[in-house]
Structure 1
Amino acid sequence: MKASTFVYPWDVNGDPGAPDRIAALGVDQVTLAAAYHSTRALTPRHPRHRVVTAEHAAVLYPGDPGRWTGRALRPYPAGDWAPGDAYGEAADALARAGLEVHSWVVLAHNSRLGAEHPDTSVVNAYGDRYPWAPCIAQPATRAYLVDLAAEAAVRPGAAGTELESLGWYGFQHLHAHDKTGGVGLGDAGHYLMALCFCPACREGYGARGLDADELAAAVRAALEPLWRGAPEGGGTAPSGGAEPGGGWADVEKLLGEDTAAATRAWRDDTARTLQEAAVAAVRTAAPEGFQVLLHADPVAYHVGANAGVDPAHILSVADGVVVPCAGGPGLLAPFAEQNREGAVIAANLTVVAGMGGSPGTLAADAARARELGATELRLYHAGLASDDDLEAVHRGLGAL
């Protein structure tokens, strides 16, 4: 199985040994961040530093002034954590070590954008804004994301790209000193908290026969038992409450089938058309043979870094998907069941023990992922892993 590991430019730049060390793991490829959100990251082996603080979402290369001049929404340049063409410098070094380089592009996840342009953010049923979550229904935001995808993906020397957060973002977000875990919302609660009520979304609901004010009131009423400590999933349904873990059935119980379906129709169409536009823009900018993958979740109403998608649709748009497998490989099957010839179905395995990963079971985890349809592996994350983790990865890949 072809294997790639995620890497940040700051893991490589300034560390002459990093490219060969990564190549020695046994990976064929690196997925190198070109546009990334704010983060605080360890660099356990770097000769000059141990912690990198990326203060805001940024592009890690010089943006094209001709594309962005005069536009209110445009990408932010990185600070001293990734100066100049940090992506290009790292990509060149990794390529010299014999590694194929693909760009890693984070799109609809940008707290600075939300802080400086608050009208772009998702607004929940209570009127609270999510500054980390640009609303993908807004025309200006969609245009920004499509252009960013094309620019950040097609970097010199890149053989492909992986597009993350190309869809709706919601309540789930690790913010600075995050203190939101006191109430278990469950699958349905998180969907309700993700419903946006910005002007564009209110208009979208109206086009599908919903009154936005009535919908917001219904969402608040459905969530109220959760704030009082009801089991995850709800508790206001006529049948006596939704069952924890019931997924979409819980949403239907809480909102009613017709109302729930109308919200899905608006959100699904909005996400699908954005994904189609972004992938098309990347293909237009890219050379022939350039691979385009999406970080994706096969449950279409899910939100976050792994955008909820319809497997059949997304595999007709992109060359494949990168599927989160930190909780097990079960999400691979809905994509594999499409039997789409040539599609990449990459199992994303966490190999940092301190972040809940299991580098020591990589060979077994990869074998199980292959049984469920994985064609490739993604390993998160070579730059964050300890020496022991990397040694376990080397052994695991060697056993495949």
Structure 2
Amino acid sequence: MESSVLAFATDLLDEGADTFFGNLTDRAGVGGVTLASVYHEARDVFPHNPRRVIRYLEPGAAYFRPDPARWSGRRLRPVPSTAIGDRDPFAEAAEEARRRGLKLHAWTVFCHNDRLGFEHPDCAPANAFGDRHLTELCPAHPEVRAYARTLVTELARYGVDAIRAESLHFHGLRHGYHHERYFEELGPAAEALLGLCFCTHCRAAAVRAGVPAEEAAAAVRAELRRRLADDTAAAEPAALDELADGAVAAYVDASAATVTSLAAEVTEEADRYGMRLSFLDGGGPGSGWLSGIDLPALAKAAHQIETLGYARTPEAVREKLAAFALHGVRPRDMAVILRPMASDCDGPANLAAKVAVLRELGVPEVEFYHYGLMRLSSLDRIGAALA
């Protein structure tokens, strides 16, 4: 079974290569590192960082040095984080990984990009009223699709083994934004409908699929107005397949086709350079339809489906993978991310039992979240579990 730990470039820069890679090999005993190449805004606590305990990550920043010629004339382009100064953490990580015989993976957040969404609102998803979700990029927009493909091309020059594709899909309303507020209870149906994208490109894609996009948008607006005006209506169960005689459900299906085709394009680009592409499905089966996630189709489009095995018990991890199998995704075509911290594990035996479940089911790859956010004792748990 292949193994790696997810990490930030700032972990490498703050600790130095000897400490950082030494912890990965000597304590965690993994065969690779999965380094964030483009990441969203965050504020995190770092238990063992020698320079800081709390760090703010910039919105939509890149942690490698983009090639200016490759992005010439592009509106959407990666902007290096100010935290890396004049260094290139990916070049440093690639050199050190090669020296130590480790694999380097690029953990890349594609369509959840606060910086680019705010700078280019026309590239962000638009709800049925035309309001833009500025923390995101729309997977149907041609410039967004070109941006995603070019990111993969850029990362190939570092000798990356695999792209870990996060947020290569739509996001719903509640994906998380600073001081995000809902003082009236919206209800799950209204939240779902407010998260659908009706931008020009999404409507055009739906029309090409034979879906009456304008009728679907009008039905969504009417339903939202009804639920926003009345708390009794807001509590009613969702029945999206009944809106506009099924046009809204068909519109969502067209959105899924958009995501699948983008995943196929990005995977094809990765193939050109001998890289694998793992499509990260964070929510698991049954939770991603409104985000455009069609698991059986994506399993064919990408090299691998990656999921979060965040659970308290080994039995719960097994159940998660069984749910994927019911959707046509076999364990041997997956990678699973585990957390060795106290939120999921009550001790080394717990993590070892989860790793044993993955091995038993034939999962070829396990990753651990997250180097900088865990105590050093959690790195020791990884080493014990893999051994």
TM-score strictly above 0.5: yes
Matched, 1:274 2:262: yes
Letter of the 1:350 counterpart: R
Shift of 1:47: 2.3
Matched, 1:219 2:250: no
SS at match of 1:41: strand
| 2:177 aligned residue | 175
Letter of the 1:384 counterpart: L
| 1:396 aligned residue | 385
| 1:102 aligned residue | 105
Q: Deviations over 1:15-72 (max 9, x none)?
A: 1312111222122221111222222233322222223322221221111112111112
Name the structure where helix makes up a greater proportion of residues: 2
Shift of 1:164: 1.3
| 1:380 aligned residue | 369
Shift of 1:184: 6.2
Q: Distance in 1 between matches of 2:302 and 2:246?
A: 31
| 2:308 aligned residue | 324
From 141, 149, 153, the equivalent of 2:152 is 149
Instruction: Identify the range of structure 1 (291-300 vs 97-106) with the bigger mean alpha-carbon deviation.
Output: 291-300
Q: Distance in 2 between matches of 1:299 and 1:291?
A: 25
| 1:333 aligned residue | 322
Q: CA RMSD in A?
A: 3.0
SS at match of 2:371: coil
Letter of the 1:268 counterpart: A
| 1:315 aligned residue | 299
SS at match of 2:76: coil
| 1:247 aligned residue | none
Alignment check: 8 A CA contact 2:38 2:107 kept: yes
Letter of the 2:304 counterpart: G
From 77, 82, 103, the equivalent of 1:79 is 82
| 1:121 aligned residue | 124
For this pair of structures, how many residues does the alignment match?
374
| 1:17 aligned residue | 19
Shift of 1:97: 4.2
Alignment of 1:1-400 (within 5 A): 1-15=1-15, 16-23=18-25, 24-81=27-84, 83-152=86-155, 154-180=156-182, 183=185, 185-186=187-188, 188-208=189-209, 210-223=211-224, 224-225=226-227, 228-229=230-231, 235=236, 241-242=237-238, 250-253=239-242, 255=243, 258-284=246-272, 286-287=273-274, 290-296=275-281, 297-299=284-286, 301-302=288-289, 308-311=293-296, 313-326=297-310, 328-329=316-317, 330-333=319-322, 335-336=324-325, 343-353=332-342, 356-358=343-345, 360=347, 361-370=350-359, 374-398=363-387
Q: Distance in 2 between matches of 1:309 and 1:114?
A: 25
- Name the % identity: 32
Structure 2 residue ranges without an equivalent (≥5) = none
Structure 1 residue ranges without an equivalent (≥5) = 236-240, 243-249
TM-score by length of 2: 0.85
Q: Distance in 1 between matches of 2:30 and 2:232?
A: 47
Q: Deviations over 1:336-385 (max 9, x none)?
A: 468889954112222333xx433632123333445556332121112110
